[in-house]
Structure 1
Amino acid sequence: MPNSKMPRHRHLFFYAFLILISSPPSSAELGKASHYNPPYIPTACFGRDFSQLPSDGYFAAVGDDLWNNGTACGKKYMVSCISSPFSRACKKEKTIQVRAVDRAKTAVSRSSQAGTTITLSRAAFEVISDIRSTWVAIQFKQV
């Protein structure tokens, strides 16, 4: 008759799995995103170096809360739209990764929205929201 007891290593795997699925997900932050248009160069992070802009066009200028004396330069963030004053502007199932390349306050082409956490390039904003919306509420997390 086969042994009905689970081998010891399977017990450990099972308990590790239970701990993993019961751990709370790492928290994301909430903020406001707007968008800006070219010219994107020069930036506060990398000046006139065009190689700083990802080829997919997914980058951002960060607000003062994230800027932190330039330490945000080059950091990557996962961003998703959670609500908007423009009806059905959010593309709810879309999340985008952007690279911080500028400071929103000093960007050559600034957003018109005060209090923006992240100002997304036009290409990045269009992935998560209808471009006709001037700003959206977002959930974001540094990766």
Structure 2
Amino acid sequence: MVGIVICLASVVCAIQGTATYYNPPYYPLACIPNQRNGDFKVARASDGLWNNRTACGRRNRVRCTAANNLFPRPYIGATVDVTIVDYCSKCNGTINLSRDAFSIIANLEAGNIWIEYNQ
């Protein structure tokens, strides 16, 4: 109960999920069609996050918590702020980070990681 009160008192609460990454090019984009995004800290949202395009433009702070496979110690210990710019119809995770964003929080060789993210 105390955790719920603390969570409600704060602006955001961490949500758990998984993340993978995708390679450039990071366009075309469902949220900003016909425009290339110069910021490479972007992500594609899975069905659960996409919510009929309401995720477009939403910023998320993402942190790796563990590997989702046998890769030892995948995380770097950093967080990354990403903007949802696209939909991922065949995501292998909750969120599909750009390669640039994924490499800030985890070793690329891990491929699939457990994360916490705040919206």
The TM-score normalised by the length of structure 2 is: 0.84
2:99 is matched by which residue type in structure 1? R
- Which has a greater percent of strand? 2
Structure index of larger Rg: 1
Letter paired with 1:138? I
Mapped to 2, the partners of 1:28 and 1:81 lie a distance apart of 12
Q: Could you give the per-residue CA deviations for residues 23-57 of structure 1, whole angstroms, max 9, x where no partner exists?
A: 6244210000000011221111111211xx253x1
**Residue 59 (1) aligns with residue 42 (2):** yes
Off by >3 Å, runs of 4+ in structure 1 = none
The residue number in structure 2 matching 1:48 is: 34
Name the counterpart of 2:6: 24
Amino acid corresponding to residue 48 of structure 2 in structure 1:
D
1:34 to 20, 45, 54: 20
% identity of equivalent residues: 37
Instruction: Give the Cα–Cα distance (whole angstroms) in 1 for the partners of residues 27 and 18 of structure 2.
Output: 23
1:77 partner SS: strand
Q: Which amino acid aligns with 2:19?
A: A
Q: Unpaired segments of 5 or more residues in structure 2? A: none
- 1:103 maps to which residue? 87
- Give the match's secondary structure for 1:132: helix
Residue segments in structure 1 that go unaligned for 5+ positions in a row:
1-22
Query: Please, what TM-score do these two structures have when normalized by structure 1?
Result: 0.71
Match of 1:127 among 91, 100, 104: 104
Deviates more, 1:24-33 or 1:64-73: 24-33
Aligned residues: 109
Give, as a single letter, the amino acid of the residue that structure 1 aligns with 2:83.
R
